Amino acid sequence: MKIDKLVGDRFKEKPSDCVVDSHALMLRGGYMKGVANGIYSSYMPLRRITRKIENIIREEMDAIDGQEVQFPVVMPASLWQETGRYESIGSELLRFKDRNDIPMVLGMTHEEAAVQLVRDYGNSYSRYPFMIYQIQTKFRDEARPRAGLIRVREFTMKDAYSFHTSQEDLERYYQICYDAYNRIFARCGIPDVVTVKSDSGMMGGSISHEYMLLTPIGEDTLAICSACDYRANMEAAESIIENEMTGESAELTKVYTPNIHTIEEICDFLHTPLIESCKAVVYQKNMTDEYVVVFVRGDLDINETKLTNYLGEGVHPAVITGDCGLHAGYIGPVGLDSVKFTVLYDKSLQNTHNLSCGANEDEYHFTGLKISRDVGDVDYLDLAKIIEGGICPQCGKPAIRISRGIEVGNIFQLGTKYTKSMEMQYLDSEGNLQYPIMGCYGIGVGRLAASVCEAHHDDYGPIWPMSIAPWHVELCCLRADDAETKAVADGLYQSMLDAKVEVLYDDRNIRPGFMFSDADLLGIPVRVIVSPRNLKEGVCEVVTRDKEISEKIPVEQVLDRVQAIICERLK
């Protein structure tokens, strides 16, 4: 195709609302256009990229015996009521009513639909295992869409669901899928994706992994051990704190601390480090607004996912009212009403003394807190976020590094959460009714495209890997007003078309700088430049977008050379 007919504008200026490179480059390169907050239309170059990604995913899913199916985008709420997720998921699940006032949802994931599809089929052990998948549009009403295709509301996703008659068989297949995912990311040009253990969150189940592309612009925070192979999502990483009580235990002493409201202020005031304080973090349960007071060592933060998992329900930061019985800024463990409030202690407070903390009385704090003495025996829970330099839960060394990453895929062992709640059963070989065990496996197509762009770009545009590039070759005719040059370029274009090379032809009569900046934005791997100067020597320039190759090739050998490069890079 010729670039002068390619719909979409390319431009130089970075749009002001872009915080990540892939977002800016995909807007600047005419890949996509915003339609609403977190909702985009794709132009042809991006659609070609996503189709190639979809085909790679499809091939790998088919290769592990996946059966492509299709679930609806719009589902009846009744299906989600069977599993309780209609109620338990927040407003990211878009709910509405159809013309007959029947409550419906937009699919943000399809466990319910998957079970509904195979509930009758999977009635005998002999039909297991099987895996079904789809590549389909999903909608998730994100509160804060951001970073272009990294976090959107509407997206295309491959979601796969496997069904098994034993945990062993699930684990066997989980490993197969784990490997297939690595192949997918490698084929798409990001072989360096790492897997981390993650929290299963609303999906249910226990073991799950996220595939992470490590990049500073990532939304997820990872704990990675530099001494062993431990990798975990911050949300799932156990925080290990080893305290040692040194010195004497001071007495619990009330101190007058007017106008001091934060743990930082009290430590400042007392000239003690944060590590010698006991901080109160207050939440409210989403359903009942009941207060939950979590105490943690002053230098640490609460991991809300761990807290939610422990409580078994969602929480939000508390609004502390005047009559609730809590003294904002002065909350502490001593004398706090543990019947009226849910009071929890993080493990970072175990084996400590001489802490400062609130005195549950306006304008007063305590010093010398020793929980075991002043409060008594309490349960210490893992509720804190793991920290840089923290202790690795696997090897025990203080070698945790905190990195950021984009989650490009995830795999979950779901167990029987969905099959039980939706009453999907099979007869085992002994004639007993059993619930099948599920796994599920997701990859967001658009996010993967953006991630590849994050991993492979320069200041001038994306550098697409051959496997997912919108076209393989960009043919640039410099000086289209020169008859001989144009004739040679036209001939090359036709020969490439005849050879079924995916070629984009730029024969616009424009300045080379303009032509090349367009080409950089399109990020096509191979560029063939036809110019009067080179033609004097009977050659064309064949260069690659990644600068690995820059050659002068006789005109009559250009097609062969280009095909060889494509072939080599598609291996």
Distance in Å, CB of 64 to its own copies, minimum: 12
Q: Which stretch binds its own copies (CB under 8 A): 1-9, 421-429, 514-522, 545-553?
A: 1-9
Q: Is residue 98 close enough to count as binding its own copies by CB under 8 A?
A: yes
Site for its own copies in 147-176 (CB under 8 A): 153-154
Q: How many whole angstroms separate alpha carbon 463 and alpha carbon 473? A: 13
Which one, 230 or 505, has the nearer CB to its own copies? 505
Query: Which DSSP string corresponds to 141-180?
Result: --SS-BTGGGB-SEEEEEEEEEEESSHHHHHHHHHHHHHH
Assess 15 for contact with its own copies (CB under 8 A): no
**Does 454 sit near its own copies (CB under 8 A)?**
no
Q: How far is the CB of 211 from its own copies (least distance, A)?
A: 24
Instruction: Name which of 104 and 378 has its Cβ closer to its own copies.
Output: 104
Indicate the pairing of strand 291-297 with strand 342-346: parallel
Decide: is 251 part of the binding site for its own copies (CB under 8 A).
no
**Rule CB under 8 A: is residue 99 a binding residue for its own copies?**
yes
Residue 296 CB coordination number (10 Å): 27
Position 429 contacts its own copies (CB under 8 A): no
Could you say whether residue 194 binds its own copies (CB under 8 A)? Answer: no
**Which residue stretch of 41-49, 247-255, 354-362, 423-431 sits at the interface with its own copies (rule: CB under 8 A)?**
41-49
Please report, to the nearest 10 degrees, the dihedral formed by the alpha carbons of residues 488, 491, 497, 499 taken in order: -100
* 97 vs 511 by CB, closer to its own copies: 97
Structure tokens of 155? 């997206």
Which tokens belong to 343? 């009071």
Quick check: 461 and 523 in contact, CB under 8 A? yes
Shortest separation between residue 142's beta carbon and its own copies, angstroms: 9
120 binds its own copies (CB under 8 A): yes
**How near is the Cβ of 160 to its own copies at its closest, in Å?**
13
Tokens coding 555: 């005109």
292 dihedral zone (left: phi>0; alpha: psi -120 to 50; beta): beta
Give yes or no for residue 76 binding its own copies (CB under 8 A).
yes
Nearer to its own copies, 71 or 426 (CB): 71
Give the phi and the psi of residue 229 in degrees, each rounded to 5.
-95, 20
Residue 42 sits in the site that holds its own copies (CB under 8 A): yes
State the angle between helix axes of 445-455 and 44-63 in degrees (0 to 180), rounded to the nearest 10: 110
Q: Toward its own copies, which CB reaches closer, 113 or 212?
A: 113
The least distance separating its own copies from the CB of residue 316, rounded to whole angstroms, comes to 15
Q: Of these, 44, 270, 311, 549, which contacts its own copies (CB under 8 A)? A: 44
> Are 535 and 488 contacting, i.e. CB atoms less than 8 angstroms apart?
yes
- Is residue 116 involved in binding its own copies (CB under 8 A)? yes
Q: Considering only the stretches 47-55, 366-374, 386-394, 533-541, report the one whose residues sit in contact with its own copies under the rule CB under 8 A.
A: 47-55
| 136 CB-side CA count, 13 A | 20
3-state secondary structure 382-395: CCECCCCCCCCCCC
Min dist CB 104 to its own copies, Å, is: 8
DSSP 58: H
Shortest Å distance, C-beta 100 to its own copies: 8
Label each residue of 410-464 as H, E or C: EEEEEECHHHHHCCCCEECCCCCEECCEEEEEEEEHHHHHHHHHHHCEECCEECC
Nearest to 438 by CA among 157, 105, 207, 228: 207
Secondary structure, 3-state, 221-254: EEEEECCCCCEEECCCCCCCCCCCCCCCCCCCEE
Q: For the CB of residue 240, give the shortest distance to its own copies in the complex, in Å.
A: 38
Query: Is residue 514 close enough to count as binding its own copies by CB under 8 A?
Result: no
Q: Does 469 bind its own copies (CB under 8 A)?
A: no
> Is the CB of 104 or the CB of 381 nearer to its own copies?
104
To its own copies, the closest distance from the beta carbon of 523 in angstroms equals: 18
Nearest residue (CB) to its own copies, 139 versus 441 = 139
Contacting positions for its own copies (CB under 8 A)? 1, 5-9, 33, 35-36, 39-44, 46-48, 50-51, 65, 67-76, 79, 91-92, 94, 96-99, 102, 104, 106, 113, 116-118, 120-121, 127, 130, 132, 134, 136-137, 139, 141, 143, 153-154
